[in-house]
Amino acid sequence: MRPSYCWLFVVRGAVLFVLAAGVFVSLSIRSLPICAQQQQIVWTDQEKPILEKIRTLRKLDQEERARTTKQLALQIRQLPAGINKVRLANMLANLSTEGDFGHDMLQEVATTLQAALREAPVPATPSGPPAPYVELAQLVRYEHVQAAMDVPQYVAAVAKLEADDARNQHANFSLLDLSGKRWTLQNLHGNVVLVNFWATWCPPCRSEMPDLQALYEQFKNQGFIVLAISDEPDTKVTPFIEQFHYTYPILLDPDRKVHEAFGVEGIPKSFVYDREGNLVTQSIDMRTKRQFLEMLAHAGLH
């Protein structure tokens, strides 16, 4: 029997539109729950205000956004158990990593998602662990919050992340930049390299690019290289880069082979390699300058 819902893994980009109670919701996400039959999700009167607040989180300044996100996590936790509660918790978790909102907020979000999944487990699928379990595992592994589940879906999600990290530990690729220069990752030993996946249409990507530019200018004489990879055509990328005067290398991956090799399911996403070519840290979403500095410190760059 076909399930009444499924979990869509987003492989292209950060912006997805979901019709929910007649409202289009724009989220910067790595994954989002949707109905397998593409039918409209029915939200209760208790759920609709929470959904609307999630939809407008990006309009808030950082301090207010952090406070509102934490409040939403607590409100979702009080909802009756069910798939919509998991949907809302997963949506909120996806947005909670778009910046530097504090560990306490992330912990509340993770606790809410864990609780929702305990109350209404999402069945495993042949395509892999369901998205909300992967989301929770990412928060634990990369944002260092506390959560644990002993169900097979979560165990599979943890195993997936471990396999992805092992694959990316000594990754390699060779791509051309906008000027036609070829960059090969394994030829850059001796440098600290930040590999960043992005796109012109991705709001969180655009938000972190000025900080990447500032860090590139600050550390480039110390052997720091940013390789920013887009799957868009150069006719879209070049005007954007020229408009904002970014000077770090912009690489093109039109057939998405490098995206797929790194297991990039959403953007922005960054990987930092030390001078010996070892993957030392990564991000699952946009980072602020302070957060990027913390990542670079793992590679010995201060």
Residue 42 CA, chain-centre distance (Å), reads 27
Give pLDDT, residue 32.
Answer: 42
Q: What is the mean pLDDT of the chain?
A: 89
Give pLDDT, residue 170.
Answer: 87
Q: How many CB atoms lie within 10 A of CB 78?
A: 10
Residues 6+ apart with CB under 8 A from 155: 149
End residue of a domain, out of 107, 141, 166: 166
pLDDT for residue 81 is more than 70 = yes
How far lies 61's CA from each of 67, 93, 104, 138, in Å?
Answer: 10, 18, 18, 25
Residues 119 and 230 in one domain: no
Residues 203 and 146 in one domain: no
pLDDT digits (tens, 9 = 90+) for 86-129: 999 999 999 999 999 999 999 999 999 999 999 999 999 898 99
pLDDT for residue 33 is more than 80 = no
Report d(CA 109, CA 58) in Å as an integer. Answer: 16
In-domain check, residue 224 = yes
CATH, residue 213: 3.40.30.10
Span 198-203, average pLDDT: 97
pLDDT digits (tens, 9 = 90+) for 242-287: 999 999 999 999 999 999 999 998 999 999 999 999 999 999 999 9
Residues 204 and 270 in one domain: yes
Span 166-178, average pLDDT: 96
With cut-offs at 50, 70 and 90, classify the pLDDT of residue 39.
low
Give pLDDT, residue 28.
Answer: 40
With cut-offs at 50, 70 and 90, classify the pLDDT of residue 239.
very high
pLDDT for residue 35 is more than 60 = no
Give pLDDT, residue 79.
Answer: 98
In-domain check, residue 1 = no
In-domain check, residue 31 = yes
pLDDT for residue 186 is more than 90 = yes
Residues 50 and 162 in one domain: yes
Residues 185 and 154 in one domain: no
Residues 183 and 159 in one domain: no
Residues 178 and 144 in one domain: no
With cut-offs at 50, 70 and 90, classify the pLDDT of residue 82.
very high
pLDDT for residue 44 is more than 60 = yes
Residues 129 and 254 in one domain: no
Residues 116 and 264 in one domain: no
In-domain check, residue 256 = yes
- Structurally, the chain folds into a number of domains equal to 2
pLDDT > 90 in the chain, percent = 84
End residue of a domain, out of 100, 134, 166: 166
Residue 172 CA, chain-centre distance (Å), reads 21
Residues 199 and 242 in one domain: yes
How far lies 153's CA from each of 129, 254, 265, in Å?
Answer: 5, 33, 18
Report d(CA 206, CA 198) in Å as an integer. Answer: 8
pLDDT digits (tens, 9 = 90+) for 2-27: 122 233 333 323 433 333 333 333 34
Residues 49 and 160 in one domain: yes
In-domain check, residue 53 = yes
- For 286, the domain range is 174-297
Span 189-213, average pLDDT: 97
Strand-pairing partners, residue 183, are 175
Indicate the pTM of the whole model.
Answer: 0.86
Report d(CA 121, CA 118) in Å as an integer. Answer: 6
Give pLDDT, residue 91.
Answer: 98
